[in-house]
């Protein structure tokens, strides 16, 4: 099969846009939404929320609670991403199911799902436990997809000579993962981790301040502190809370992300050393610390050796270069498949019955809203693409610029976009099409960072010897961009576009329908329909709108992003 045929053939195995795997996954999502809506009916009518103390002395406790939720969600996200991405990249059979599922899951508008999740969990669990689980799940969904796509993309684009060396030296799966796959993916994972934390703040704030009628689902934390201070007009408490949030972001940058980025420099694919490598004062201090060296020798060293002895089992035969196939499905697999099919069948009948109650006019509104939201998403992504590529390349290739700009973009990305939306509304609603402009800007504020951090990761991973070669050949301006920078960035740009466009669809839920100062501002769009259906308890409209958004996003992924992924995999590998 030629390169052109590989790239432009239909993404699914059997030559159609939506394979049987896609259909089954979509049906499962529909059944889950329906079951969640059914459980939500049994939730308490009135739920009392916590009292939020605006005393600055309470901020450290609230900050620890918020960081704890973020950390729990991030550990789950990183673990999920590594196992999921590895399984999808190493097994063709698993890939046929896992990648369609990933496409669909990252397109699910979780903000529309949050009320259903909260109401269903409070119907079966104690309120405090239910709200905490819902918050962690919400943050998890904001952090995990870009990490998973990044790790999968890295595994699929590992230079061929690295894979050949691992096969020749008979590396076990653990040794191949530890010495080849994880190091090659580390730069992308770290930069996407930075993005995941930045995006996680937005969803953390949304989870900590969520209320639904007489049900108060707020959680004690930084988000609830800021929301309470704003609603009470306590400017000093609001400024102190914002200052605490910015301080936490700066500390995380200096004590976690900068040291990790400097440490990951050793894994760059390059045959020469970098003249200006990323540095970290905290990492240098740890390397000089006697206590840290003692811990490395006495604790982490023995632990690493035991882990190696436990997991480092040589393969029975030399590993191939292509993803491996699994064996035949076991009896247990068939039983699970039958049970899933029966569950899907029952839930599908109920979900279809719910959708049949929706009038024809509502389906027309859904179609018009989908087209309007698609237009806003396209505009927001194009604007993000225009500025994030040059800025990301500057930060990723210039350590001096990175030292100044990286903390700035992290702080900007971590400030919840919804906090800026009232200001945008006040300034734009007085001009023609102001509500539409404000919606696009909010979608842009919530999604552009996914693209920026992926571009930074790609620029940071460009081998130094290629940069030197381009200097020797006197490649300048557009010629340098066309022959080196853009091809090297291409896989990272596609990953960023997938996650940023998915985030834009999700952000449409809060961008297209807002309530501020007792007044409702809304524009025509699918996100506005989802928000109004959620507020009104119209579960039929909520199910139909959510499924429409999922199908539309998955279709775009298959027609555009999947094929561009093939271009990245076959044309823009480091070994070609």
In a domain? residue 435: yes
Rounded to a whole number of angstroms, the distance between the first and last alpha carbons of the chain is: 18
In a domain? residue 342: no
pTM of the model: 0.75
pLDDT of residue 413: 76
DSSP for 168-207?
HTT--HHHHIIIIIHHHHHHHHHHHHHHHHHHHHHHHHHH
Residues sharing a CB contact under 8 Å with residue 194, sequence separation 6 or more, in sequence order: 257, 410, 453
Question: CA nearest 104: which of 9, 30, 206?
Answer: 30
Angle in degrees, CA 504, 224, 377, rounded to 5: 5
State how far the Cα of 448 lies from the Cα of 442, in Å rounded to an integer: 10
Question: CA nearest 498: which of 560, 544, 543?
Answer: 560
Residues sharing a CB contact under 8 Å with residue 99, sequence separation 6 or more, in sequence order: 88, 152
pLDDT of residue 9: 47
Residues 199, 450 contacting (CB under 8 angstroms): yes
> CB 6: neighbour CB atoms within 10 A?
14
Residues sharing a CB contact under 8 Å with residue 442, sequence separation 6 or more, in sequence order: 417, 418, 420, 421, 424, 507, 510, 511
Q: At what angle do helices 110-124 and 20-40 cross, to 10 degrees?
A: 50
How many domains is the chain partitioned into structurally?
Answer: 1
- Residue 54 tokens read as 């605006």
pLDDT of residue 464: 76
In a domain? residue 221: yes
Tell me the average confidence (pLDDT) per consecutive run of 10 residues in the chain, 576 residues long: 45 54 71 70 66 88 92 94 90 79 73 70 78 87 86 84 82 85 87 82 77 75 82 80 84 86 77 64 82 80 78 57 50 71 73 84 92 93 93 86 80 67 64 79 83 86 79 82 86 84 81 66 84 77 86 83 76 60
Provide φ and ψ at 31, rounded to 5°.
-65, -40
In a domain? residue 481: yes
In 41-109, alpha helices (H): 59-90, 92-107
Distances (CA, A) of 465 to 269, 454, 468, 471: 9, 21, 5, 10
- Residue 41 tokens read as 């009916």
Residues 272, 466 contacting (CB under 8 angstroms): no
Question: CA nearest 486: which of 463, 453, 462, 451?
Answer: 462
Residue-range definition of the domain harbouring residue 365: 17-272+308-313+359-571
pLDDT of residue 403: 76
Residues sharing a CB contact under 8 Å with residue 471, sequence separation 6 or more, in sequence order: none
pLDDT of residue 192: 83
In 398-433, alpha helices (H): 399-414, 417-428
In a domain? residue 1: no
DSSP 91: B
State how far the Cα of 116 lies from the Cα of 207, in Å rounded to an integer: 13
């Amino acid at each position: 099969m030629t390169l052109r045929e590989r790239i432009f053939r239909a993404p699914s195995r059997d030559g159609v846009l939506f394979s049987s795997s896609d259909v089954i996954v979509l049906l499962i999502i529909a059944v889950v939404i329906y079951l969640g809506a059914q459980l939500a009916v049994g939730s308490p009518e009135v739920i009392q929320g916590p009292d939020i103390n605006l005393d600055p002395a309470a901020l450290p406790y609230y900050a620890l609670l918020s960081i704890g939720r973020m950390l729990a969600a991030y550990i789950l996200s990183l673990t999920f991403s590594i196992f999921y991405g590895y399984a999808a990249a190493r097994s063709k059979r698993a890939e046929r199911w896992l990648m369609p599922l990933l496409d669909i899951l990252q397109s699910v508008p979780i903000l529309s799902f949050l009320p259903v999740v909260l109401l269903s969990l409070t119907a079966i669990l104690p309120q405090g436990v239910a709200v905490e689980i819902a918050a962690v799940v919400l943050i998890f969904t904001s952090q995990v997809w870009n990490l998973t796509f990044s790790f999968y993309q890295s595994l699929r684009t590992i230079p061929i000579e690295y894979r050949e060396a691992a096969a020749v030296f008979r590396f076990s799966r653990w040794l191949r993962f530890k010495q080849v796959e994880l190091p090659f993916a580390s730069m992308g994972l770290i930069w996407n981790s930075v993005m995941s934390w930045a995006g996680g703040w937005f969803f953390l704030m949304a989870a900590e301040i969520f209320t639904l009628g007489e049900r108060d689902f707020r959680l004690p934390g930084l988000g609830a502190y800021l929301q309470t201070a704003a609603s009470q007009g306590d400017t000093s408490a609001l400024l102190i809370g914002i200052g605490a949030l910015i301080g936490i972001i700066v500390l995380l940058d200096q004590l976690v992300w900068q040291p990790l980025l400097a440490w990951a420099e050793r894994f760059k694919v390059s045959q020469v050393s970098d003249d200006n490598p990323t540095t970290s004062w905290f990492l240098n201090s740890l390397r000089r610390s006697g206590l840290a060296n003692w811990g490395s020798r006495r604790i982490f060293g023995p632990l690493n050796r035991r882990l190696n002895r436990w997991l480092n089992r040589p393969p029975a035969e030399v590993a191939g270069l292509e993803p491996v196939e699994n064996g035949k499905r076991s009896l247990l697999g068939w039983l699970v498949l039958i049970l899933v099919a029966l569950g899907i069948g029952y839930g599908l009948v109920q979900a279809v019955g719910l959708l049949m109650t929706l009038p024809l006019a509502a389906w027309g509104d859904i179609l018009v809203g989908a087209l309007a939201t698609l237009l806003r998403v396209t505009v927001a992504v194009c604007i993000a693409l225009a500025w994030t590529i040059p800025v990301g390349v500057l930060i990723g290739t210039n350590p001096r610029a990175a030292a100044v700009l990286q903390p700035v973009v992290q702080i900007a990305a971590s400030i919840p976009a919804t906090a800026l939306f009232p200001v945008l509304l006040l300034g734009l609603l007085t001009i023609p099409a102001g509500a539409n402009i404000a919606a696009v800007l909010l979608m842009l504020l919530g999604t552009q960072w996914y693209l920026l951090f992926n571009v930074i990761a790609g620029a940071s991973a460009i081998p130094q010897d290629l940069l030197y070669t381009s200097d020797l050949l006197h490649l300048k301006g557009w010629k340098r961009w066309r022959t080196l920078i853009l091809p090297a960035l291409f896989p990272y740009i596609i990953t960023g576009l997938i996650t940023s466009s998915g985030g834009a669809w999700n952000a449409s839920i809060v961008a297209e329908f807002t309530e501020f100062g007792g007044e409702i501002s809304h524009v025509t769009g699918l996100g506005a329909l989802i928000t109004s259906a959620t507020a009104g308890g119209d579960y039929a409209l909520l199910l139909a709108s959510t499924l429409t958004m999922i199908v539309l996003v998955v279709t775009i992924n298959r027609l555009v992003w999947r094929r561009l992924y093939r271009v990245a995999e076959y044309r823009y590998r480091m070994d070609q």
